[in-house]
């Protein structure tokens, strides 16, 4: 009987294995996920452009709601506060689970790409789609954080924002590809290489770490820095240093040279080759930097200027300038 059974398998071509789905089948599932995400976003009552800032303001000062307890953001705060009593206003961006985003109908402008990737993962799992969440950082920021981190991390405010993008990796054609989970109306794959770039692919999501990515954003290129599920905020200097610490793919940044200063209506704008840095008049200290001097520049929250973040520390050879009481050491 055994011989007959084996013979039957041979004649039938061996045991049947499910073929790996092709690109068309995978993208049909992705489109179904995106349709659900778009419907969720369209159903959100929090349609204001400043939705995240509105909630963050209430988290920082709940007394705001005493005058208008029926405000929808105040009601949202009450719902959130029950499950997140220790929520900090700076954590609103990354604080919500997929289930919370879905139940509260929170829009992408409130939860950002981190929230989008979580909801995508939830719907993809329900739809039988293979995926892995991945994280990337703007190459220039990542490079600076890696090269200026560690022993010189005191030059940067550890909780300050590090520009990045949460996405997902999906598998088709025997390879993994990085997909932007925040573009519901189209399938935007990250690309790499010279102009005419090809869709990024790799044998595993972890094997894509360190790859340069182009999403089509003004802030391109990015470096894929982490693959896997995490709930910590990977988009701060502190969060980056809490990762695997490998800093794979981080090129050494070019020298950051001082190019001059310009007086503005309420402060001074310092112009460096690595970007502008603003000093509000309330934090002004005597600064004497020769044009062309190589310095290290750390920035933190925006002071409302669209063209620059506030200076935290400017460290030049033999001299360091501190603008917020931080300890800065010259290099």
Burial code (b: 16+ CB inside 10 Å, e: under 16) for 207-238 equals ebbebbbbbeeeeebbbbbbbeeeeebbbbbb
pTM beyond 0.85: no
Task: List beta partners, residue 261.
Answer: 270
Assign residue 196 a region: left if phi > 0, alpha if psi is -120 to 50, beta otherwise? left
List pLDDT tens digits, range 215-229. Answer: 998 888 999 988 887
% pLDDT > 90, the chain = 40
Residues 6 or more apart whose Cβ sits within 8 Å of residue 105: 40, 43, 44, 45, 46
Angle at 308 (CA atoms; ends 302, 311), nearest 5 degrees: 70
Which structure tokens are listed for 23?
């690109």
- Examine the pLDDT at 244 and tell me if it is beyond 60: no
Q: Answer whether 58's CB lies under 8 Å from 51's CB.
A: no
Helical H segments across 164-322, by residue range: 237-241
What number of CA atoms fall less than 13 Å from residue 3's CA on the CB side?
0
Lowest mean pLDDT among 76-90, 117-131, 234-248: 234-248
Neighbours of 288 (CB within 10 A): 8
């Amino acid at each position: 009987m055994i011989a007959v059974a084996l013979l039957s398998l041979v004649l039938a071509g061996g045991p049947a294995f499910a073929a790996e789905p092709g690109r068309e089948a995978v993208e049909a599932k992705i489109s179904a996920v995106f349709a659900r995400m778009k419907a969720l976003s369209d159903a959100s009552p929090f349609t204001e452009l400043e939705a995240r800032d509105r909630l963050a303001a209430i988290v920082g000062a709940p007394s705001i709601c005493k005058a208008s307890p029926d405000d929808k953001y105040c009601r949202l705060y009450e719902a959130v506060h029950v499950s997140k009593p220790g929520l900090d206003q700076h954590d609103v961006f990354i604080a919500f689970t997929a289930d919370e985003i879905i139940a509260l109908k929170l829009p992408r402008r409130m939860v950002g790409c981190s929230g989008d990737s979580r909801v995508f993962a939830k719907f993809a799992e329900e739809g039988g789609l293979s995926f892995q969440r991945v994280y990337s950082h703007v190459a220039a920021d990542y490079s600076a954080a890696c090269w200026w981190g560690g022993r010189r991390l005191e030059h940067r405010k550890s909780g300050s924002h590090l520009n990045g993008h949460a996405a997902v990796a999906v598998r088709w054609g025997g390879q993994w590809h990085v997909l932007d989970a925040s573009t519901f109306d189209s399938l935007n794959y990250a690309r790499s290489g010279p102009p005419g770039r090809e869709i990024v692919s790799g044998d595993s999501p972890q094997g894509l770490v360190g790859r340069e990515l182009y999403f089509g954003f003004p802030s391109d290129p990015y470096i894929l820095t982490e693959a896997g599920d995490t709930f910590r905020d990977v988009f701060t200097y502190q969060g980056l240093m809490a990762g695997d610490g490998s800093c794979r793919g981080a090129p050494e940044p070019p020298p950051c040279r001082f190019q001059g200063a310009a007086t503005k209506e309420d402060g001074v704008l310092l112009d460096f080759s690595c970007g502008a840095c603003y000093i509000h008049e309330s934090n002004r200290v005597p600064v004497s930097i020769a044009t062309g001097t190589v310095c290290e520049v750390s920035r933190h929250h925006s002071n409302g200027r669209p063209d620059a973040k506030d200076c935290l520390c400017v460290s030049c050879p033999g001299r360091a300038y501190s603008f917020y009481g931080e300890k800065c050491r010259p290099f």
